């Protein structure tokens, strides 16, 4: 999927607030315990020394069709999280997935190199099966600059993508969110886009792919404090099976996903906003 031709650039005012890659696999129940993750944690401890875990609980209450009334709790498998000292790079590991996320990076190769190292350690210490789903997701919070040249959202986002967010109502618009699903062969591309308040947008980032963690804020976002942002949440994924380890084919797939996401982003914004983002050549 290619949406527009574009230069390879790095933005000085990048609206990117979160990047996450999640790889799902068949359950490995040894990862429930601290003993089961010990080798994985040791292999990454020098770079990601902060370890924590979380576990979701669900209240179960017997309904009218139950023969007996029952109340109880059901707990999910723990999610182990490892972070670097600054907290900008986060690894999440559970019985059926590994995820890696970053709030900002210099270039995608930096993210990919770190992910491949994590998968190499996972392969050597846990030896999980093939993937059942691989995804790459990039979340952008696009702000309307205070500059008078950007009088409305039509000067920032292309009208085809704005939808109802581009209409001026005689009352407050709380939010306007749409979802687009595209498919090419076995690759899927999900786009969630629209106008949303800053707090709700930040909460979506802090619960990416169901992995909850404390908010670090969005200090890299030039629109911090804006009442509304235009959410551009771009997610590429496939159910094709790949060995869950450092491998050329997996790197090629994730690079392809990254290129597709970048291409869609460039096709979504106006030329004036592109220039406002302060692009400079990559390299």
pLDDT (tens digit per residue) in 87-140:
899 999 999 999 999 987 878 999 999 999 999 999 999 989 899 999 999 999
Q: Please count the CA atoms within 13 angstroms of the CA of 277 that sit on its side-chain side.
A: 25
pLDDT band at 217 (very low <50, low <70, confident <90, very high): very low
Local confidence band at 186 (pLDDT 50, 70, 90 cut-offs):
very high
- pLDDT, tens only, 233-254: 999 999 999 999 888 999 999 9
Please give the Cα distance from 102 to 88 (Å, whole number).
6
Domain locations along the chain: 9-28+103-281
Model pLDDT, residue 8:
87
- Mean pLDDT score, 142-161: 86
Averaged pLDDT of the chain? 85
* Mean pLDDT for the stretch of residues 177-202: 91
pLDDT at 219: 45
171 vs 120: which has the higher pLDDT: 120
Q: How far apart are CA 173 and CA 252, in angstroms?
A: 41
Instruction: Kindly provide the b/e burial profile for residues 182-197, where b requires at least 16 CB atoms within 10 angstroms of the residue's own CB.
Output: eeeeebbbbbbbbbbe
Q: In this prediction, what percent of the chain has a pLDDT beyond 70? A: 84
């Amino acid at each position: 999927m290619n949406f527009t031709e574009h230069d390879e650039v790095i933005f000085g005012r990048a609206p990117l607030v979160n990047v996450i890659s999640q790889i799902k696999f068949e359950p490995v129940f040894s990862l429930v315990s601290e003993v089961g993750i010990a080798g994985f944690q040791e292999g990454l401890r020098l770079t990601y020394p902060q370890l924590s875990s979380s576990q979701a609980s669900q209240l179960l209450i017997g309904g009218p069709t139950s023969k007996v009334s029952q109340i109880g709790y059901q707990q999910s498998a723990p999610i182990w999280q490892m972070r670097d000292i600054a907290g900008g790079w986060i690894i999440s590991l559970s019985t059926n997935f590994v995820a890696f996320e970053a709030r900002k990076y210099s270039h995608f190769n930096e993210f990919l190199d770190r992910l491949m190292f994590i998968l190499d350690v996972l392969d050597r210490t846990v030896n999980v099966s093939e993937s059942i789903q691989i995804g790459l997701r990039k979340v952008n919070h696009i702000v309307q600059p205070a500059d008078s040249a950007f009088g409305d959202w039509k000067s920032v986002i292309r009208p085809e993508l704005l939808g109802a967010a581009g209409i001026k109502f005689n009352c407050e618009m709380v939010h306007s969110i749409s979802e687009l699903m595209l498919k090419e062969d076995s690759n899927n591309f999900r786009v969630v886009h629209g106008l949303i308040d800053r707090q709700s947008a930040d909460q979506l980032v802090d619960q990416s792919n169901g992995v909850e963690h404390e908010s670090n804020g969005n200090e890299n976002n030039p629109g911090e404090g804006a009442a509304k942002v235009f959410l551009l949440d771009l997610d590429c994924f496939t159910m094709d099976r790949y060995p869950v380890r450092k491998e050329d084919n997996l790197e090629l797939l994730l690079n392809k996903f990254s290129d597709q996401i970048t291409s869609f982003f460039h096709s979504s914004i106006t030329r004036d906003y592109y220039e406002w983002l302060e692009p400079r050549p990559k390299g």
